[in-house]
Amino acid sequence: MKIDQLKNQIANQVRHPFLAKFIADPVIDEDKLAILISIMDHTTLSPLKKEKYIITTMLVQIALDTHDLVTLTEDDDEQDTVRTRQLTVLAGDYYSGLYYYVLSQLNDIAMIRTLAGAIKEINELKMELYYKDVDSFQEFLTSLKKIESLLIQRVATYVQKTTINDMAGDWLLAKRLLQEKNSYQEGRFSPVMDLLVKRPDSAETGGQLVFNIEQLLHKHISNLETSVSQLPIHFNWLKAYIHSAIYQKFYKTNIAEEG
């Protein structure tokens, strides 16, 4: 299956003329889409089911990501801000409802339950991460990794193709940490970095935390490259994709900064 074709199909599914007037189009995570394609390519499902499972899983991911954009601000009493927040919540609910609609047309109750269960687990993990104190930095990373990868891993388990679950979790964690670090350094809001700086047991400044995250990423990416290289030969397309993504998002950025 072609990643661009599926991305266009997903974009067409989530496009809504009313929402487009007030909020930005949702971001489609190409890395998660690529992992899902690789998982489904190695199942014996019909082409239609493969496509529908990928699209509905990505609709759920988009819904979760959209709800994450709903944040309280100092301008909460201003009409435009309130409307934007309300429409963002509405958009997240709309995207979530789309997955149910697509699967209900296939009469696929088992997959609906799988995705609904994953949504529940992810929301519970987010509540624990953002609103409760975690005991250690490692526990924090473990929770963040689960949030990033649990949806895909539940789908992989459902279709009995879990070979790349661990590698996918490592890659998605590294990608999220890199995104959060870059956002923080560029002066944009980074919920993960903000949480880490404000941890009760943290004595680190923002600069020290960025340095520690960079050191962690260097080690993590090195281990990830090894695990990707060790994937079975039938995952060659995914291996090439992730090696390219690592270079573009990690090494190329570091080279540019050092230059």
- Contact present, 32 and 152 (Cβ < 8 Å): yes
Provide the pLDDT for residue 200: 61
Mean per-residue pLDDT, 210-224: 89
Question: Which tokens sit at 125?
Answer: 């993990």
pTM of the model: 0.88
Provide the pLDDT for residue 257: 56
Mean per-residue pLDDT, 215-219: 89
Residues 48, 52, 53: CA angle, nearest 5 degrees: 115
Provide the pLDDT for residue 73: 46
- Contact present, 146 and 170 (Cβ < 8 Å): no
Mean per-residue pLDDT, 59-73: 82
Provide the pLDDT for residue 117: 96
What is the rounded CA–CA span in Å between residue 94 and residue 172?
25
Least confident of 38-47, 59-68, 198-207: 198-207
Residues whose CB falls within 8 Å of the CB of residue 50, separated by 6 or more in sequence, listed in order: 1, 40, 41, 43
Give residue 206's pLDDT band: very low, low, confident or very high (50, 70, 90).
confident
Side-chain half-sphere CA neighbours of 50 within 13 A: 19
What is the rounded CA–CA span in Å between residue 197 and residue 215?
17
Provide the pLDDT for residue 72: 45
Percent of the chain with pLDDT over 70: 90
Tens digit of pLDDT for each residue in 132-170? Answer: 766 778 888 899 999 999 999 999 999 999 999 999 999
Give residue 255's pLDDT band: very low, low, confident or very high (50, 70, 90).
low
**Which residue blocks in the chain are alpha helix, DSSP H?**
3-14, 17-20, 30-41, 47-68, 79-105, 109-131, 137-158, 165-185, 191-197, 206-229, 236-246, 252-258
Mean per-residue pLDDT, 227-236: 91
CB count in 10 Å sphere of residue 58: 26
> Is the confidence at residue 199, as pLDDT, over 50?
yes
DSSP string for residues in 125-154: HHHHHHHS--S-HHHHHHHHHHHHHHHHHH
What is the rounded CA–CA span in Å between residue 28 and residue 6?
10
